[in-house]
Amino acid sequence: MNSIPAKNEFAFSGEIGGKIAENIWDSIKSGLILVDSEGKILLWNDWIAQHSGIPAESALNHFLGSLFPDGLAASFKNALRNVLHYKLPIILSNALHRSPLPLYPLPVAHRKQDRMQQSIIITPIVTSEKKRLCLIQVTDATLSIKRERVLKSYSERLSKAAITDALTGAYNRRFFDERFTAEFSRAQRQNIPLSLIMLDVDFFKDYNDRYGHPAGDKVLISVVKALKSQLHRPTDVVTRYGGEEFAIILPDSGSEGGRIVAEKLRVAVSGLNIPHGTSTVADHLTISIGIVSYQPDTSCNATCFLEAADAALYSAKHGGRNCVRHLVTPECGKPCQVDTPQADSPD
């Protein structure tokens, strides 16, 4: 029967050296387990004892698997066998192996709490007597995971802030430019329809002059909420194009569908019934909408398409306001012909 080496045989000699080694192992703020080729425990430091609830005197000279009623994770047992066989270190990262060992945060108590999240390094050790041993180093990964989550959340907030209008919560012009380029390219590449809505709050400068800029800011926030309430697909988003002008990209939406959405937007804003004493088209706040629809197999490019949407909005603003003006499949180099159907009549 093989004798079990004492702790001091691995690093120090003499009684004093053994005590120093023991103190060092127990003061380390991570777990240390040393097992022989059969899985019998030779070292069980204080950190492991605390987080497992098993004192060293109950662990030493016992097999590792026998100490835990729940057993060891299959990934951990396979890693241990491979280290002993191939004599190469293995890392069990927390990303793939969250809690291989039954270790718990302090106090261990009744172990009804979730297991501690761990990172584990298993290292082969060959002694002068050619004995094969394994050193298992266990680190509590809980804090680092929390830190990663906080950093990820902070990064996501920064990313969102970079593409979001601070006042209204709509996406900003930067987002629009990137999204529009991507969606127009996709429409051309896949031969699918695309609609673009451009809208403007009627007589907004006059509103600011009469009611003040703080009231104007509240109006823009209310308008965005009303617009969002009418968009039910995740791909349909409101963007603040500039000032009181907004743009909405409608992927996979043709002429008829885009026109229906545009009219719903106009009605929703009108339904807010926000008083507007200086408007010449209504006694409440209204919007003018221009919409352009791209159909496959046309010579229209992205610049032409955007200009056509602006032309449709111009027509709505100078053709009565509080209405929708629609343009179908603009051809580059040709004058825009704006459709003014009866259904687009104002309230």
- For residue 135, which of 103, 91, 165, 99 has the smallest C-alpha distance? 91
d(CA 100, CA 76): 6
Evaluate whether 239 touches 179 at the Cβ level (below 8 Å).
yes
Residues in the chain: 347
Instruction: Say how far apart CA 167 and CA 78 lie, in whole Å.
Output: 56
d(CA 248, CA 236): 7
What is the spatial distance between Cα 144 and Cα 142, in angstroms, rounded to a whole number? Answer: 6
Q: Which helix (H) or strand (E) holds 33?
A: strand 31-36
DSSP 8-state code for residue 284: B
Alpha carbon distance 76, 33 (integer Å): 13
Name the one residue in this structure whose structure tokens are 């032309």. 311
Q: Which of 140, 278, 301 is nearest to 219 (CA)?
A: 278
- Write down the catalytic residue from 22, 244, 245, 263: 244
What burial letters (b/e) apply to 191-203, b meaning 16+ CB within 10 Å? Answer: ebbbbbbbbbbbb
User: CA–CA separation, 278 vs 216, rounded Å?
Assistant: 13
Q: Is the dihedral of CA 226, 173, 255, 345 positive or negative?
A: positive
Q: Is 256 a known active-site residue?
A: no
Cα separations in angstroms, 278 against 177, 209, 222, 254: 33, 9, 19, 36
Closest to 233 (Cα-Cα) out of 262, 253, 259: 253
In angstroms, rounded to a whole number, what is the distance separating the alpha carbons of residues 157 and 149? 12
**Which residues does the annotation mark as catalytic?**
244
